[in-house]
Chains A and B, each alone.
Chain A
Amino acid sequence: MIKKFALTLLIGLLVSLQPLVSGAEPVLVDDGLVTPKVNSQLLFDRLWEEQQARASNGLEKSKNKKRAKRLLCERLSVSTTLKTYLKEIVGVKLKSNPKSISVESVQFQNVTSLYGVCSVIVYTPVGPCFFDANPGKPINIWSLEINNREQSDDCKNN
């Protein structure tokens, strides 16, 4: 009788220890949250739609960014600071120019954006001068770089 009881006890102990020994089953710690009844098909479709919408929204944002850059360039064209510096730059050049043309006659237009750089074409009485300026940066003498030196030099030498 005692032997039978001991054997039963031993089997019971082994059975209860078995999960601890194998440990292969995924066990989530019980944190009081119940696994919900979510349809995986519906879940996939919802996520997929959201992702597509987000992707197209990202594309739209990127287009808007380009548009914003163009607008910024347009704003750049009416900046009085830019006008002043353009006058100063051209003015300096004109001072060294034997033909010496009045700085006040400088006009500028055709501000376009290509790859995020604003190209400013300044129409001076001596001919067009080309400048590139980075949009979004404060306009000062250092940010207004003369990238197309050849044309600028032409402009200076005219």
Chain B
Amino acid sequence: MTAKIIKTCIVYWCFLICLGSPLMASSLADKYEDQNKRIEINPDLQAYVEAREAENRLVIEKGKLHILGVDSLGAFRKSGKYSAPRDYNTDWFGFYELENKLFGFVQNADSRLICDGRDYPLRLELVALAKRDDIDSYTFKASASYNKGPFFKRGIETFELNLKTKSCFYEKRGRVAKCEIISPNDSYNFSGMTGGNVQQRFEAGLRKMPKYLERLRGCKFRE
């Protein structure tokens, strides 16, 4: 008798589990659909973000990546055809050269967007750094400290560089020091301390675009 009851219980238990799982899955699926139905991405916002990402794509795809390093003990170390920052204290960032102009990328929250109850999503923001002058030099301001790449960091130190001769100087608190540049041919073999090829890290930023758009649900332009 007891065995019969236990057997019946097991059968019912199995039946409930088999019935319960699809029900739960379908309720979550419905919930997911509902929540995504409620908040739509603002079409103007989507167009704006896509235009910015298209510009990023142009620079990353068509531009030449350079790496600038700042370290009084030497910015880079080389092992075979691979380069890396000298050590964890070395400050460096990547920037792109495109048709005699330099562009950098800052990882930034977009101050033009407001998202209800949430932080502004981070995105890659393109920065116009400098135009080449008559003597093939570029001058721009950046931060020479606390930057472990690959992104550019805004700052007050003046950098002056020549990409042909690879000369690089920067002025910090009235003192001029040397910086180092790794040329485009080397950049593909340059990996940051956290690992990964630098060019690929920028390209990965482009691939995050669909996910970024997802996070813009419920966001709008700041008035």
What's the dominant secondary structure at chain B's contact region? helix
User: How many angstroms between the C-alpha atoms of A40 and B61 in the bound complex?
Assistant: 12
User: How many angstroms between the C-alpha atoms of A105 and B207 in the bound complex?
Assistant: 72
A38 engages B55 (CB within 8 Å): yes
Known: A31-B209, A33-B57, A51-B127. 5 other contacts (CB 8 A): A26-B199, A26-B203, A33-B209, A40-B58, A43-B59
A47 engages B207 (CB within 8 Å): no
- CB contacts under 8 Å to A, within B124-172, are 126-128, 131
Among the listed A24, A26, A43, A45, which residue makes an inter-chain contact with B58, where contact means beta carbons less than 8 Å apart? A43
Chain A residues contacting B61 (CB-CB under 8 Å) are 26, 28, 35
| Count of interface residues, chain A, beta-carbon cutoff 8 Å | 17
1/0 contact string of B10-54 vs chain A (CB within 8 Å): 000000000000000000000000000000000000000000011
Stretch at the interface among B67-75, B86-94, B95-103, B215-223: B95-103
User: How many angstroms between the C-alpha atoms of A44 and B101 in the bound complex?
Assistant: 8
Among the listed B55, B127, B128, B206, which residue makes an inter-chain contact with A28, where contact means beta carbons less than 8 Å apart? B206
Residue of B nearest to A49 (CB): B128
Q: Does A98 sit within 8 A of B, measured CB to CB?
A: no
B96 CB, min distance to chain A CBs, angstroms: 10
Chain B residues contacting A48 (CB-CB under 8 Å) are 128
Among the listed A24, A29, A36, A47, which residue makes an inter-chain contact with B127, where contact means beta carbons less than 8 Å apart? A47
Q: Does B117 sit within 8 A of A, measured CB to CB?
A: no
Chain B residues contacting A51 (CB-CB under 8 Å) are 127-128
| Count of interface residues, chain B, beta-carbon cutoff 8 Å | 24
1/0 contact string of B179-223 vs chain A (CB within 8 Å): 000000000100000000001000100110110000000000000
Chain B residues contacting A41 (CB-CB under 8 Å) are 99, 101
**Residue positions of A touching B, CB distance < 8 A:** 24, 26, 28-29, 31, 33, 35-36, 38, 40-41, 43-45, 47-48, 51
B55 engages A24 (CB within 8 Å): no
A142 CB, min distance to chain B CBs, angstroms: 34
Among the listed A26, A29, A44, which residue makes an inter-chain contact with B131, where contact means beta carbons less than 8 Å apart? A44
Chain B residues contacting A45 (CB-CB under 8 Å) are 128
